[in-house]
Chains A and B, each alone.
Chain A
Amino acid sequence: MLAAPALAIVFSLAVTSAILLATGTPPVSTFRQMLDYGQEPRTLALIVNSATTYYFAALAVAIGFRMNLFNIGVDGQYRLAALVTGAVGGAIALPAPLHVTVEIVTAVLVGGMWAGIAGALKVYRGVSEVISTIMLNFIATGVIAYLLTPGRLAVQTQGSNNIGTKPIPPSGQVPGIDLIPDSQLQVYGLVVLAIAAGVGFWFLINRTRFGYDLRATGMSEAAAVASGVNVKKMVLSTMLISGGLAGLVGMPQLLGSSYTYSLDFPAGLGFTGIAIALLGRNNPIGIAIGALLWGFLDNSSQILDLVGVAKEIVLITQGVIVLSVVIAYELVRRYRVVAQQRDVGRELGEAPAPPPPGGGPGGAVAEEVPR
């Protein structure tokens, strides 16, 4: 099971090295620079912080993937949620734990609502969630641009051209944690929430009736329907949960360091989430490893600009990892199916059966069929 991602990472490092060589850069020393810089305490803290954010995004994508539901709209969901939460958090004054709770709940609700539109359109009107969530991403961009103007939700940031929501007061902020020794930089306090979300994800998927229905729907919708699963209800609730998790993506940064949703709030994390969910195979632990790997690549590459290598090289590494990991999973799956058939054929003492049909629409993303 670990062979496929390891193979993909080795392959992508090979491709990266080839590109580095072709553009006249020695690969080994480049990688060494990244490794050294990536082990400095400050960078380690940055890696954990990035991974916290990515983790929420990947979990949001993964829960949909588990039932062949493609939430491409995590991007719009978390940006809208962060904007509204920023505005709400800056406008109210409550005791600290309550204030933060209100903010988190707001983020979950807004994200869930935005994803719920796509869920409702799919369930009631048969609109593919892929295309509706892409449209909703653009619409979210428009809504945010409309709301984030002075006089509506935005105020001028002091001493710059930037505009953002009113800063969240200390009672609504989540303090950092001194997780990495010798690092001046603290780790986002919401890393705790990320871990809790991962455990909750595991429990929901593997230990509840809902999770069982969800996995059953993902493996074979027809079989799930036959065994009494209400697929429409599953689609809608999965979309709501996915959107709720997406709402949390912006929270570590919003409540842990920026305290305001401004024009330069990071965008595009939804697509990072898709990549990491694929890499981690929609499994909470796999996703955690993937998120840390992504965080490492993103942050340790910052050194490259200082040594005269374009740091965008890691984008190629990441892209190749994603593509090769899904191909590797598919190859492993095919190999296992053939091996399984050979075993069955041998035990029955008959000739092997003809080759099997290809996997379902989510052949590469669904969990492997238990033997």
Chain B
Amino acid sequence: MSLIDQEAAAPAPQRAGAPVRRNTLYRMLIFAGFGLVAFSAVRVISGADDLTSAGTVGAALGLAVPIGMAGLGGLWAERSGVVNIGLEGMMILGTFGAGWIGWQYGPWAGLVSAVAFGAAGGLVHAVATVTFGVDHIVSGVAINILGLGVTQYLASVLFEGTPGGGSTQSPRIDPIGSISIPFLGDALQSVEQHGWFLVSDLAGIIRGLTTNISWVTIIAALLVVATWWILWRTAFGLRLRSCGEEPYAAESLGVNVYLYKYIAVVVSGGLAGFGGAYLAIVAASIYREMQTGGRGYIGLAAMIFGNWRPGGLVAGAGLFGYTDAMQLRSATAVHALLLLVALLLAAVAVFAFIRRRWVPGVVAIVLGAVSLVWYLTTDTLPPQVTFMTPYITTLLVLALASQALRPPKADGLPYRRGSGR
């Protein structure tokens, strides 16, 4: 009897990779479609044109890039099994590197130097966590303190007395240039201005994503694709991820786990530095103290929100960037978001009930009702509430879907060569 039971309980053979992947893509497209309809409907009902205007989308893209790059850095480190809470410090080093070299030798040199500064921070983290086996969180916190200290000191030494610079900011960095797809913008703008349901929204979003796009943004997008390809489509990536899942198994197969972890954490720091460079060179044109404003942490949250996958990470960074942009651009549009949240929560509740998951369903219904009532009884939303939206969303996602999230299995665990288990 037990033999039969065991056979019955044995996992079904894995389906081939390709159909599963197409399935995911298909589902993502459906989600995107539903999302667009929801946005469009809310825009028409509330009259808040800024919800999907090219300006909002462009601003959201700009705000999402640094968060996404920090998150991508987190992805590299955590896929190799090293928790990197020092992203914030590495990003700060990046902003400084961009400002210091950028104002003297031009923005491209600044970008390279930002990546180098961030990578240096990553190297320190790697030495502490991989070589010395220090707890990852502890080392990360120390690097955040160190990154802030080093940049503040160097800034007051190096920027004091420079043209336009001071102890807390660098001189101006030359702009790095941006591109637009020719002719498309004007055509889309006229479509957008008509306010048609769905069509104008699509036009606004496309125009926002194709007009005045900084070269840095384009490189960032390529980095996301490259990360996906390297980590999931190459032998190198497989080995790197194996260090984050089963380092001792990887070791037994001859993978130099220390080396892979070092590479991953240094790349991680470089990407965080790249995110810092975007803030200094593209967003502000100067290095400024406290410029990162916790975006390293937010990037980490976006990565967890995205279930340690590049696609999910982009969605998370987009969400954070979008709510940030809304808060900066339009008070009425922010208020309209309440209606959107109510709609989305209703959809979540329906899905949950179909899957017989009662508790999340009820929670979603209650929260949806609250935001609907809130929308109907008020005219504006305090900006502070919008500020909190992404963080509350992350907490809710973690609280409701933590079972669905799957971090790398050996993420954050100490590893010492040869100690086995």
Closest Cβ of chain A to B386, distance in Å, is 9
Q: Are A323 and B153 in contact (CB under 8 A)?
A: no
Q: Contact string, B118-160, partner A, CB cutoff 8 A, digits 1/0?
A: 0000001000100011110111011111111110110111001
Q: Are A357 and B419 in contact (CB under 8 A)?
A: yes
Q: Are B142 and A127 in contact (CB under 8 A)?
A: no
Q: Contact string, B283-314, partner A, CB cutoff 8 A, digits 1/0?
A: 00000000000100110110010000000000
Stretch of A27-35, A256-264, A283-291, A312-320 on the interface side:
A312-320
Q: Contact string, B53-90, partner A, CB cutoff 8 A, digits 1/0?
A: 00000000000000000000000000000010100000
B residues in contact (CB < 8 Å) with A: 83, 85, 124, 128, 132-135, 137-139, 141-150, 152-153, 155-157, 160, 167, 294, 297-298, 300-301, 304, 382, 384-385, 387-388, 391-392, 394-395, 398-400, 402-403, 412-416, 418-421
Q: Are A126 and B384 in contact (CB under 8 A)?
A: no
- Once A139-B392, A319-B145, A361-B414 are accepted as A-B contacts, the answer to whether A326 and B135 lie under 8 Å apart by CB is yes
A320 and B304 alpha carbons, distance in the complex (Å): 29
CB contacts (< 8 Å) of B412 on chain A: these are 361
Q: Are A125 and B399 in contact (CB under 8 A)?
A: yes
Can you list the 5 inter-chain pairs with the closest CB atoms, starting with the nearest?
A315-B149, A319-B146, A142-B388, A310-B156, A146-B384
Q: Are A131 and B301 in contact (CB under 8 A)?
A: yes
| Interface presence of A21 (CB below 8 A) | no
A361 and B400 alpha carbons, distance in the complex (Å): 26
CB contacts (< 8 Å) of A317 on chain B: these are 149
CB contacts (< 8 Å) of B387 on chain A: these are 141-142, 145
A317 and B133 alpha carbons, distance in the complex (Å): 22
- Once A271-B141, A316-B149, A357-B419 are accepted as A-B contacts, the answer to whether A146 and B134 lie under 8 Å apart by CB is no
* Sampled A-B contacts (15; CB under 8 Å): A130-B137, A131-B304, A134-B301, A136-B395, A138-B297, A146-B385, A278-B141, A312-B152, A312-B156, A315-B152, A318-B145, A323-B124, A330-B133, A355-B419, A357-B419
A314 and B135 alpha carbons, distance in the complex (Å): 24
| Interface presence of A63 (CB below 8 A) | no
- Which residues in window 234-292 of A have CB below 8 A to B? 271, 274-275, 278
Closest Cβ of chain A to B420, distance in Å, is 8
Q: Are A138 and B391 in contact (CB under 8 A)?
A: yes
Closest Cβ of chain A to B189, distance in Å, is 35
Q: Are A125 and B135 in contact (CB under 8 A)?
A: no
Q: Are B145 and A361 in contact (CB under 8 A)?
A: no
Closest Cβ of chain B to A319, distance in Å, is 3
Q: Are A330 and B132 in contact (CB under 8 A)?
A: yes
- Tell me what chain A mostly uses at the interface: helix, strand, loop, or mixed: helix
- Indicate which residue in A72, A131, A361 contacts B135 across the interface (CB closer than 8 Å): A361
A127 and B190 alpha carbons, distance in the complex (Å): 47
- Tell me what chain B mostly uses at the interface: helix, strand, loop, or mixed: helix
- Which residues in window 58-90 of A have CB below 8 A to B? 70, 72
A155 and B135 alpha carbons, distance in the complex (Å): 44
Q: Are A275 and B142 in contact (CB under 8 A)?
A: yes
Q: Are A127 and B149 in contact (CB under 8 A)?
A: no
CB contacts (< 8 Å) of A125 on chain B: these are 398-400, 402
Q: Are B398 and A131 in contact (CB under 8 A)?
A: yes
CB contacts (< 8 Å) of B152 on chain A: these are 310, 312, 315
A residues in contact (CB < 8 Å) with B: 19, 23, 70, 72, 121, 125-127, 130-132, 134-136, 138-139, 141-143, 145-146, 271, 274-275, 278, 310, 312-320, 322-323, 326-327, 330-331, 334, 355-365
CB contacts (< 8 Å) of A274 on chain B: these are 141
A365 and B142 alpha carbons, distance in the complex (Å): 13
Q: Are B402 and A126 in contact (CB under 8 A)?
A: yes
Closest Cβ of chain B to A198, distance in Å, is 22
CB contacts (< 8 Å) of B391 on chain A: these are 135-136, 138-139, 142
A138 and B391 alpha carbons, distance in the complex (Å): 7
- Indicate which residue in B133, B300, B304 contacts A363 across the interface (CB closer than 8 Å): B133
- Once A142-B385, A356-B419 are accepted as A-B contacts, the answer to whether A130 and B85 lie under 8 Å apart by CB is yes
Q: Are B149 and A134 in contact (CB under 8 A)?
A: no
Q: Which residue of B lies closest to A356 (CB)?
A: B419
Q: Which residue of B lies closest to A131 (CB)?
A: B304
A132 and B392 alpha carbons, distance in the complex (Å): 10
Q: Are B134 and A330 in contact (CB under 8 A)?
A: yes
CB contacts (< 8 Å) of B416 on chain A: these are 355, 357-358
Q: In this complex, which of B83, B138, B399, B414 has the most chain A Cβ atoms within 10 angstroms of its Cβ? A: B138
Q: Are B146 and A320 in contact (CB under 8 A)?
A: yes
A88 and B148 alpha carbons, distance in the complex (Å): 35
CB contacts (< 8 Å) of B147 on chain A: these are 319
Q: Are B398 and A319 in contact (CB under 8 A)?
A: no
CB contacts (< 8 Å) of A141 on chain B: these are 387
Q: Are B167 and A322 in contact (CB under 8 A)?
A: no
CB contacts (< 8 Å) of A278 on chain B: these are 138, 141-142
CB contacts (< 8 Å) of B146 on chain A: these are 316, 319-320, 322-323
A360 and B167 alpha carbons, distance in the complex (Å): 42
Closest Cβ of chain B to A359, distance in Å, is 6
Q: A312-B156, A315-B150, A316-B153 are in contact. List 9 more A-B contacts (CB 8 A).
A: A23-B157, A126-B403, A146-B385, A271-B145, A316-B146, A319-B145, A355-B418, A357-B416, A358-B133
